[in-house]
Structure 1
Amino acid sequence: MNKKIFETLEYQKVKDKLKPYLASQNGLQELANLFPMTDYEAIQLALTETLDGADIYRLKGGIPIAKLANIRPQMKRLEIGATLSGLELAQITKMLRTTQDIVRFFAKLEEEKITFHTLFETVAKLEILPEISKRLIKSIEGDGHITNEASDKLFGIRTRISTTESEIRTKMDGYTRGKDAKYLSETIITMRDGRYVIPVMAQYRNHFGGVVHDQSASGQTLYIEPQAVMELNNRLRQNQVEEKNEEERILAELSELLTPYREELLNNATILGHLDFINAKARYAAAIKGTEPTISKENHVYFRSARHPLIDPQKVVANDIELGETYKALIITGPNTGGKTITLKTFGLLQLMAQSGLFIPVNEHSQMGIFTEIFADIGDEQSIEQNLSTFSSHMDNIVKILAQIDQHSLVLFDELGGGTDPKEGAALAIAILDRVGSAGSYVMATTHYPELKAYGYNRPETMNASMEFDTQTLKPTYKLLVGIPGSSNAFDIATRLGVEPGVISQARGLMDQDSQDLSAMIKDLAARQKEASDRAARLKTEVAEAEQLHQDLSNEYQKLLNSKDQYLEKAKLQANDLVADAEKKATEIIKRLRKMEMQGGASIKENQLIDSKSELNALHQAPNLKKNRVLQRAKAKQTLKVNDDVLVTSYGQRGTLLRQLDKKHWEVQLGILKMKVATDELEKIAPEKEARTGSRTTIRRTASSAVKTTLDLRGKRYEEAMTEVDRYIDSALLAGYPMVTIVHGKGTGALRNGITKYLQRNRQVKHFEYAAPNAGGNGATVVYFK
């Protein structure tokens, strides 16, 4: 593409935004070589790679690329047989280490069943070179220093150097700390010409013997190597020479080891740079909230909620921009400062980015085209790079554009025909647009000329548009309105800026009636367009919510159908368990009754029968019949009233209703007892036949082994506990107990207070008190009966 379009639309600034996200020199080089492509396959591949990178960034925080240098110069030096330095080898070592890390990283992603479109194939091209990597990592540190493990000989030499230096320092310390320290200008050990020396005052130069290597600027201090350490310094120097020779040998050996693998190393560096570049594109996409556009081979462009990537996201206004499907020319009219130029730049820049394989700041399901050339004539006070352009410079640029356009070109005109007489400028603008249309090019143009509003209506494949203007605040909203030509709103703006009303009225009078009617029509259309857009947005949101709700309900219903059989099977198993448990308990009750009957021929007492019958009734699992209307009507016929004979289902005993205490409870006569019974435990039954004269029923009140003398209510809810207390007191009275103990615990005291109030109301209770301290204290109540 022509280079001018990159400057006009500030394409380089977008590329500069990617630089902070790059770690490798190869990645920076790939960014420098980035330009829009025109091949469908190449663009699609680049976008797909960006999508893979975005997935990794979302799942794992990005590809772990280290900061890598460009190793191409090192490879050229190896090609001519040169020996690489320690730092150069360290750069290659870091690249090989990063290669291993990347291969392991993607192997782990593959184990986690994470899929990508292209990256696994890209990473598969990396050469690990395990033996060479191991040798380099063992021999070279990150700063290029050769390690002791590089060779046994080097390790031995450095050990001797360390030992010799230690001996030298020991002898020198004797001079700085002993009686000879008084001859020194400073009690320090230093080095001159690679040899250890001490600073001796000039007048004592012969005291230590040896060699003078240096002197101070004043000549008062001489740096002397004492005679006693000369031999040690000679040995140290010899070992240092051996160390240097061995290091050079190791560097040459490592360089020779790498030489046959120059192509593999360069290939690895290129792939790592490409992965680094993909990573940068993904991170930049996240920063601008970019998405992948689909590619239209027919050049039907539709950017949904398009935003300029270089404008502050908090201030930028999103617009839907469409071109190519129903119209190939879009004419945007309206006043200055309304956002026409930035809309033009946004469209062109997003198309350049998309053709470069970058995600663009648009909503999902946006669509891009492929243009072999994008031309622009944009030059006004809003341009970041240019000053005001003259009419002749505009025309010179347009002439060059018209000479190059074809059916695969996109042309952007800002203020087409401006800078000259309005009538001539409008005519010229229409002629230029016709010329672009005859070439089959796509065009987006902005203008002030009202004549072009009619042009947008009359020409095929041409659409009018304008930038919305809020007539209430008299400020632009920067929203693009497609299908409605713009109104200059000059009178409204002039009024807001303080122009006298008389001047405004005179100006309105100078306009012909047709122009006034046209302006009024445009305002009305704009208002209707805004209302329709707002309504469409609300409906879209409501439809989306309804569809989501429908989908959720469908999913839940499907889950219910899938689990229906499981629930039925589980219910059957639970029912079988309940039946088995009930049979077991019933057998135990029957055995206990038989045992009681066989004890000395004694008759079974009434309270024992009541307790056993209650236990059997408790095993009955009553179905939930609340929703059964037939049973509800049958139950309604058995309305309870005073003196009715009833069956108390909880005790399995007949009784007579005395009075209704409330809607849920009755007072019932059971033998000699009067009991408070819940309504749902009463069943109306037919009265018994008149008993024979002289016959009577005797109930002996004796203790029963079926009723315990202690009731433990700990851990139970208040309502449940109070119901049990009521039943227990009745059973204890039937059993003939003189006293019982109710264990209610301390807790919050609510249950204890409820039991106290109940006992105070019960006429059969003589008195009650808390248990002894060693028997529970105020956590239990002892009840004495009359």
Structure 2
Amino acid sequence: MNQKALKTLEFDKIIHRLTEHAASVGAKKKCTELVPVTSLWEIERAQTQTADALRRIWQKGSISFGGIRDIRGSIKRLEIGGILGMGELRQIMSLLETAGQVQKYGAHEREDEKADSLDESFEFLDPIPSLCSEIRRCILADDEMADDASSALFSIRRSMRQMNDKVHNTLNAMVNGAVRTYLQDAVITMRDGRYCLPVKAEHRSQVPGMIHDQSATGSTLFIEPMAVVKLNNDFKELLLKEQQEIEKILSELSEKTAAYADQISGDYDVLVELDFIFAKAILAKEMNAVRPVFNDQRRINIKEGRHPLLDPKKVVPVTVRLGDDFRLLIITGPNTGGKTVSLKTVGLFTLMGQAGLHIPAFEGSELGVFGDVFADIGDEQSIEQSLSTFSSHMTTIVSILKNMDTNSLVLFDELGAGTDPTEGAALAVSILDHLQKQGIRTMATTHYSELKVYALSTEGVENACCEFDVESLRPTYRLLIGIPGKSNAFAISSRLGLPDFLIEDAKKHLSAKDISFEDIIAELEHSRVTLEKEQMEIQSYKEEIRKLRNELQKKQENIDQRKEKLLKDANDKAAAILQEAKDYADETIKNFHKFGKANISIKDMEQQRSRLREKIDAAQSKSQSTTTAKPKKKVKADKLHIGDKVRVLSLNLEGTVSTLPNAKGDLFVQMGILRSQVNVRDLEFIGEAENLAASKSMSGSGKIRMSKSALISTEINLIGMTVDEAMGHLDKYLDDAYLAHVPSVRIVHGKGTGALRTAVQQHLKRCKYIKSYRLGTFGEGDAGVTIAEFK
């Protein structure tokens, strides 16, 4: 790929974003060196790795590669017999710990998990736990060796602590004793690795010892008293022994590490590669990108593509296709309409896809494999080279024409601009026609009407435009393929306030051919908008029909399942009944044969016959009970009254009518504490309402009972009331329910502190007409409800 196109299409900015997601130096280097490739096999391999890493991130979350250290220099030193320092060994330990974490992340947690392209890399990792734990045990920090790294080091450091204590005790005794008056400060200092006291220069003779240093003014001498000279010498010897033992430990650790040099180098290479792959996956997740489908026919079909460098909240998706029905796409329309963005999106997606990166587009977007991408985009006017805009563009175009081939993708922005419009349009048509004849996939943006006509009249060339809303004077950034763009200069000028007489005068300067062409474009635009609206309506209808079809199919499947179950149950029951009848018949025949041979009395035979008849009757009643119940007396909707007694056949329960049927025949029936909506076809009439049947003779208390029966509910809700308020409501409710002959009621008091529940139950205990009460069961409200039954 030529570097100019990579920079022009801003591929370097994508690489910069990718590099930010890599943790290790090695992976960052691989990111900066990433370039598009032209081998379809390599592209598919890189895309598969990115897709597999992205899938793992969605399933398990991200993984950290922060512990990767570049240990290649240390490994080379080990190979020539060198000894590593504590910092270098800890870097190797950090690498091995990261290898262990990454290997654990890559392991499949379930047996049914699908293998992917990264399994081999995860399995290759060897965290070498024995070496890792040994380094961790011996080395605490980059400059600190653990006391128990070896028994000899432990003994040396114990002696050093004891010696240090002796030195300090001796010097403290001197500081706090007679020598105190000779000291500049009552402190113990260190000079050249030896413990000293700051003695005033005039009292030098009073503190015998070795002078190691003096202050800048000469008034203070740092003297090592003779009493601690031998102790300091012994301490120095211990320091040397400690350093020798540390070097010995480092040598042993380096020798152990050298034995695993190849594995450690392999771990580093694999971890860097995985860090690089997961950086690509994190970038794909950040951009909400998908894996493109590649083809070797140089066909592009981007669906709802979003330029990755634009604000994702504001960018308008663009749908572009090229290389199938046409090889050359000419995009026209006003400035700031999104033509250049469409051009850059196609070029950048091609580069990203061939570099193994996912693209922010809709699933199923296609990209072709191109040997090179050429782009002439932007104003590259050069003052130093005395080149105008046109000259600069033409220099780039000449270079493109020299280096392109049939496997190239060529992108031109404002082709032929910067010179006389007539000559520029003629050059543009000539250049594009040359590329079209060679079959080179090309996209170009332009203002020239001549190119619109060229696209309309040439096979393999297609017009496109970026939609523009004249009413709001704003582009919609939608790319419309198959329709040439309209300049909209007159409409925009009019909306901005240019006088009408100037616009009319300008129109007179247009040729009849230009006016006719603009009118055709306007008519095409109007037709497109109309067709889009109709297509949206058709799509809406299709979606509605699809939903209805799915619902109907589900209902039919449910009906079929229920039908099969009913038939199976009926067949099973029928088979059981037939088997039972066969057994009875066999037994009867056997008995009658026995009766014929023996002298059995008529009375015994009659008893046997009676028992057989009882068996047959029982079998018949069992068979009849399996059939669906049918109403003995059908219910007519217009004949029902509130309070009528009915039987709900599907539930086999009796109840009273609570509401009159609606237009569909649905009504509510109260069955004890259960109130359910049923249809009149599922009812069997039992009797009229008592209050209606006795309305003629009813008076006084009878009328009150009728009213109560019609209005009383089987439930009272006391939640939110105080105990005193609740007891007043409950007492009146129980009286009304008892007068209405309600068999049981449901009292809702909630759980809370339990005070209201206790008060309710105490009140029920005192009521003479309460037969029993209990807390609700599961499904009735549990401890928040009390069920009371009347006598």
Same fold (TM over 0.5): yes
SS of residue paired to 2:260: helix
Instruction: Confirm or deny: 8 A CA contact 1:658 1:668 kept in the other structure.
Output: no
Distance change (3 Å), C-alpha of 1:461 and 1:133? same
Equivalent residue number for residue 106 of structure 1: 106
Partner in structure 2 of residue 346 of structure 1: 345
Give the C-alpha shift of residue 110 in structure 1.
3.2
Hey, what does 2:731 align to over in structure 1?
A: 752
Per the alignment, do residues 433 and 239 of structure 1 end up closer, same or farther by CA in structure 2, a change over 3 Å counting? same
Cα pair 1:668 1:675 within 8 Å, conserved: no
Distance (whole Å) between structure 1 residues aligned to residue 643 and residue 547 of structure 2: 56
User: 2:52 is aligned with what amino acid?
Assistant: D
- Other-structure match for 2:459: 460
How is 1:74-473 mapped onto 2 (pairs within 5 angstroms)? 74-107=74-107, 109-111=108-110, 113-141=112-140, 143=142, 145-177=144-176, 180-380=179-379, 390-473=389-472
Match of 1:410, as an amino acid?
L
C-alpha distance in 2 between matches for 1:189 and 1:561? 98
Which amino acid in the other structure matches residue 311 of structure 2? D
Judge conservation of contact 1:215–1:223 (CA < 8 Å) in 2.
yes
In structure 2, distance between residues paired with 1:507 and 1:747 = 87
- 1:50 Cα shift? 1.1
CA offset at residue 289 of structure 1? 1.0
Q: Is the 8 A contact 2:340 2:413 kept in 1?
A: yes
The SS at the match of 2:403 is coil
Equivalent position SS for 2:37: coil
Q: Which sits farther off after the overlay, 429-438 or 166-175?
A: 166-175
Q: Distance in 2 between matches of 1:504 and 1:774?
A: 88
Deviation digits for residues 721-755 of structure 1, max 9, x if unmatched? Answer: 99xxxxxxxxxxxxxxxxxxxxx999665442122
1:582 alignment partner in structure 2: none
TM-score normalised per structure 1:
0.73
Residues 459 and 387 of structure 1, relative CA distance in 2, 3 Å threshold: farther
Deviation at 1:125, TM superposition (A): 1.6
1:780 aligned partner:
766
Preserved contact between residue 666 and residue 676 of structure 1 (Cα < 8 Å): no
Superposed displacement of residue 571, structure 1: 13
User: Displacement, 1:549?
Assistant: 7.4
Give the number of aligned pairs: 650
Alpha-carbon spacing, 1:348–1:178, altered in 2? closer, same or farther (3 Å): farther
Give, in whole Å, the separation in 1 of the partners of 2:229 and 2:74.
Answer: 42
Structure 2 CA distance for partners of 1:210 and 1:15, relative to 1, 3 Å: same
8 A contact 1:379–1:388 mirrored in 2: no
Would you say the 8 A contact 1:405–1:436 is kept in 2? Answer: no
In the alignment, is residue 12 of structure 1 matched against residue 43 of structure 2? Answer: no
> SS of 2:475's equivalent?
strand
What is the 5 A alignment of 1:496-511? 496-511=495-510
1: distance between equivalents of 2:102 and 2:236?
45
Change (3 A) 1:755 1:258: closer
Amino acid at match of 2:333: G
Q: Deviations over 1:646-682 (max 9, x none)?
A: xxx99xxxxxx9996546x86899xxx999999xx9x
- What is the one-letter code of the residue matched to 1:371? F
CA distance in 1, matches of 2:567, 2:512: 81
- Partner amino acid, structure 2, of 1:250: I
* Structure 1 residue 719 corresponds to structure 2 residue 714: yes
SS at match of 1:411: strand
In the superposition, the TM-score normalised over structure 2's length comes to 0.73
Mapped to 1, the partners of 2:435 and 2:424 lie a distance apart of 16
Q: Structure 1: 5+ residue runs without aligned partners? A: 574-621, 643-648, 651-656, 682-716, 723-743, 763-772
In 2, Cα distance between the equivalents of 1:84 and 1:389?
Answer: 62
* Residues 199-235 of structure 1, C-alpha deviations (whole Å, 9 max, x = no match): 3332333443222222222222222223232222222
Structure 2 partner of 1:653: none
CA contact (8 A) 2:138 2:145 kept: yes
SS of the counterpart of 2:288? coil
Q: Tell me how far 1:319 sits from its aligned partner.
A: 0.6
Q: Bigger shift: 176-185 or 313-322?
A: 176-185
Aligned to 2:755: none
Name the CA shift for 1:660/1:429 in 2 (closer, same or farther; >3 Å).
closer
CA distance in 2, matches of 1:183, 1:348: 85
Q: Equivalents in 1 of 2:24, 2:352: separation in Å? A: 22
Contact 1:44 1:357 in 2 (8 A): yes
Structure 1 residues 639 and 294, CA gap change in structure 2 (3 angstroms): closer
Q: How many Å separate the matches in 2 of 1:178 and 1:554?
A: 105
* Distance in 1 separating the partners of 2:197 and 2:566: 94
The residue number in structure 2 matching 1:41 is: 41
Report the CA distance between 1:719 and its aligned residue. 1.6
**SS of residue paired to 1:359:** coil
**Matched residue of 1:111: which SS?**
coil
Deviation at 1:470, TM superposition (A): 0.6
Which residue of structure 1 aligns with residue 672 of structure 2? none
Q: By how many angstroms is 1:416 displaced?
A: 0.9
Structure 2 segments unaligned to the other structure (5+ residues): 573-623, 645-653, 656-685, 718-722, 742-758, 771-791
Amino acid of the structure 2 residue aligned with 1:479:
R
1:72 aligns with 2:58: no
Counterpart code for 2:49: E
Residues 388 and 403 of structure 1: is their aligned pair in 2 closer, same or farther, counting only changes over 3 Å? closer
Q: Report the AA paired with residue 202 of structure 2.
A: Q
Alpha-carbon offset, residue 561 of structure 1: 6.9
What residue identity is the alignment partner of 2:125? Answer: L
**Is the CA contact (8 Å cut-off) linking 1:89 and 1:144 kept in structure 2?**
no
